[in-house]
Chain A
Amino acid sequence: MLSRSSLRQNARRALRQQCSAKPFSRRGLAAPASGSFQYQTSDVSGTKVASRDIPGPTTTLAMVAKAGTRYQWLPGLAEGLEKFAFKGTEKRTTVRMIREIELLGGEINAYHTRENIVIGAKFLRDDLPYFVELLGEIASETRFLEHVYHEEVEKSIKLSQQKHLASTAEMALNSVHGLAFHRGLGEPLSPSSSTPLTKYLDASTIQAYASAAYAKSNVAVVANGADSAELNKWVGEYFSELASTAPSSVPKIETTQSKYFGGEERIAHASGNTMVLGFSGSSSFTGGFYKPEIAVIGSLLGGQSNIKWSPGFALLSKATSELSYISVDTKSHIYSDAGLLAIKLEGHAVDVRKAAFKAVEALKSIADGKVSSEDVKKAVASAKFKELEFGQNLWAGIELTGSGLVQNGKAYQLDESAKAIEGVTPEAVRKVAKALLESKASVSSVGDLFVLPFADEIGLQM
């Protein structure tokens, strides 16, 4: 225990309060773990709300808008809109907003993915009304001023662009998405520098995008650690200003079914080597193209060991264990209506080359059924663990829940997809792996192109 004299009076008081008889701060061993792992969803006059009352002194609140790079109608709109968050509204300026948040001891966060823009905050439980008001204000009353765009937003877009262009891994991943899906999901997360930012982006185009992105039908408010009734009350109060649908003057934010294309792209780069081998993957559980086998193949190929000092059971970690300068990672990128299984090889050019051959070999051995059923069993367990662990991760869980609500009207159900993974058989894995090898792959190589192999050299269908 902390020595009493070392704490100031205020800290002591706070400590005493925390240790006092508040029901959530103490839980006996025999008491059930939090029973409300699932989100409670509701519809507050058009805005979708999900909350999960996890016991604890802090709350995480986020507004998830279906407006990621996939839905933008001009390059960079999603990024611009994300950067305009917390940038001054009709009621308060940027400085005031930041100072207020600092005084309440909160933390704010805004990011975008291919499908969503997430604007969120983390704060003490009692400050819920303030932050719900803040998010509502950002959605309905942000001032899109030309000079704010030029002085603040444009600079940070350029910075993220530079970061994107400096990292071979990010470039390869964006390029592989472009190859696989062309438009829509294929749009790069951050506008590549050749995109004429000055041509498409300004405060007025971002404002038009905001009017469609922040319509009631397009956003969900998700909270972790907030009482459902209370959250609904405040959302009802502060999100009433939002337009119920997007104005007819701007293009619609619609989901058009993604189509998988595939292909190969090679980009010269001086500061590293990354190769991404992509295959048509699985959509989210509710998306209609859900294939739990993909997640299992993902963890069967693996690359990153989750056990210390051992390559683990995963085929790629075993195959590349004698290559010293390489990192391998297999990830199933899941979107609402399509997916991409991506094997990322990053490191020294020579090792990346060797690993690329081994990756295709590994996939072939799965397709030929040469993998022991015990390894498949391990992969199933690991895939299930990863799925549940990912959903439990705070921000990922919030985004999944929000996008599930906006896209399909129901929160993402982890239990169901975990159950589907559990039911995967070795035979099904073999079949899906075979189909992967027979379909067209998407291969992107960024780095030393003299050494990095072409897709047909390593034996992939082009």
Chain B
Amino acid sequence: MKKSWLRSWMVPMAKWWGRASGYRQLGLRLDDLIPEDNETVQLALKRLPPKEAYDRVFRLRRAIQCSITHHLLPKEEQTKEDEDLPYLTTIIEDIEREQKEKKDLDAMVPTKK
């Protein structure tokens, strides 16, 4: 983001939006909310390192428990802003790039010079 004026009002607004969405109060990260009922995300989930996969399941179960009991997590257990990092998006992007390349190359037509 080169334009600092744009940054100066977009970033605070994004932060406010993140806080207001409410998932952090349940201890989730933004990437936990990605719908997982498609092949790309399923494959990405398989590629997660074991620790990440375990933590993800833990967060989801804790959030479901909170939701059932109509509670929010205590302040210190809620997701902090600097913890809310993309861990799945990068893998999904990789897979999509692979798929796009495959599709492009499959459609390639060789021509003789």
Closest Cβ of chain B: how far from A445's Cβ, in Å? 43
A96 with B105: CB separation less than 8 A? yes
Closest Cβ of chain B: how far from A36's Cβ, in Å? 32
A95 to B105, CA, bound (A): 8
Mask, B41-62, CB within 8 Å of A = 1, is 0000011010000000000000
A93 to B102, CA, bound (A): 10
Which chain B residues border A99 with CB–CB below 8 Å? 105, 108
B102 with A95: CB separation less than 8 A? yes
Q: Which of A10, A95, A150 contacts B101 (CB 8 A)?
A: A95
Closest Cβ of chain A: how far from B57's Cβ, in Å? 19
Q: B15 interface residue, CB < 8 Å from A?
A: no
Q: A103 interface residue, CB < 8 Å from B?
A: yes
- Interfacial residues of chain B within 86-106, with CB under 8 A of chain A in the complex: 98, 101-102, 105
Which single residue of chain A is at the shortest CB-CB distance from B112? A10
Q: How large is the interface on B (under 10, 10 to 19, 20 to 34, 35 or more residues)?
A: 10 to 19
Which single residue of chain B is at the shortest CB-CB distance from A88? B98
Q: A12 interface residue, CB < 8 Å from B?
A: no
A93 with B112: CB separation less than 8 A? no
Q: B74 interface residue, CB < 8 Å from A?
A: no
Mask, A71-110, CB within 8 Å of B = 1, is 0000000000000000000000101100100010000000
- Interfacial residues of chain A within 93-143, with CB under 8 A of chain B in the complex: 93, 95-96, 99, 103
A96 to B105, CA, bound (A): 7
Q: B12 interface residue, CB < 8 Å from A?
A: no
Q: A155 interface residue, CB < 8 Å from B?
A: no
Q: How large is the interface on A (under 10, 10 to 19, 20 to 34, 35 or more residues)?
A: under 10
Q: B35 interface residue, CB < 8 Å from A?
A: no
Closest Cβ of chain B: how far from A391's Cβ, in Å? 38
Q: A147 interface residue, CB < 8 Å from B?
A: yes
A93 with B47: CB separation less than 8 A? no
Q: Contacts A99-B105, A147-B47 given: A93-B110 contact, CB under 8 Å? A: no
Which single residue of chain A is at the shortest CB-CB distance from B49? A146
- Interfacial residues of chain B within 3-56, with CB under 8 A of chain A in the complex: 46-47, 49
Which chain B residues border A93 with CB–CB below 8 Å? 98, 101
A446 to B17, CA, bound (A): 70
Closest Cβ of chain B: how far from A154's Cβ, in Å? 13
A177 to B110, CA, bound (A): 49
Which chain B residues border A146 with CB–CB below 8 Å? 47, 49
A103 with B110: CB separation less than 8 A? yes
Q: Most A CB atoms within 10 A — which of B47, B110, B112?
A: B47
Closest Cβ of chain A: how far from B31's Cβ, in Å? 17
Closest Cβ of chain B: how far from A83's Cβ, in Å? 19
A93 to B94, CA, bound (A): 11
Which single residue of chain B is at the shortest CB-CB distance from A95? B102
A96 with B101: CB separation less than 8 A? yes
Which chain B residues border A150 with CB–CB below 8 Å? 46
Which chain A residues border B105 with CB–CB below 8 Å? 95-96, 99
Which chain A residues border B108 with CB–CB below 8 Å? 99
Which chain A residues border B110 with CB–CB below 8 Å? 103
Closest Cβ of chain B: how far from A152's Cβ, in Å? 12
Q: Most B CB atoms within 10 A — which of A93, A103, A147, A150?
A: A147
A103 to B112, CA, bound (A): 11
A147 to B50, CA, bound (A): 12
Which single residue of chain B is at the shortest CB-CB distance from A99? B105
Which single residue of chain A is at the shortest CB-CB distance from B108? A99
Closest Cβ of chain A: how far from B39's Cβ, in Å? 13
Which chain B residues border A10 with CB–CB below 8 Å? 112
A147 to B112, CA, bound (A): 37
A10 to B113, CA, bound (A): 11
A99 to B112, CA, bound (A): 16
Which chain A residues border B102 with CB–CB below 8 Å? 95
Which chain A residues border B46 with CB–CB below 8 Å? 147, 150
A103 to B47, CA, bound (A): 31
Q: Most B CB atoms within 10 A — which of A10, A99, A103?
A: A99
Which chain B residues border A103 with CB–CB below 8 Å? 110
Which single residue of chain B is at the shortest CB-CB distance from A10? B112
In the A-B complex, the 6 residue pairs with the closest CB atoms: A147-B47, A99-B105, A95-B102, A95-B105, A103-B110, A95-B101
Q: A95-B102, A146-B47, A146-B49 are in contact. List 9 more A-B contacts (CB 8 A).
A: A10-B112, A93-B101, A95-B98, A95-B105, A96-B101, A99-B105, A99-B108, A103-B110, A147-B47
- Residues of chain B having any CB pair with chain A under 8 Å: 46-47, 49, 98, 101-102, 105, 108, 110, 112
Show 16 A/B contacts (Cβ-Cβ < 8 Å), sorted by A. A10-B112, A93-B98, A93-B101, A95-B98, A95-B101, A95-B102, A96-B101, A96-B105, A99-B105, A99-B108, A103-B110, A146-B47, A146-B49, A147-B46, A147-B47, A150-B46
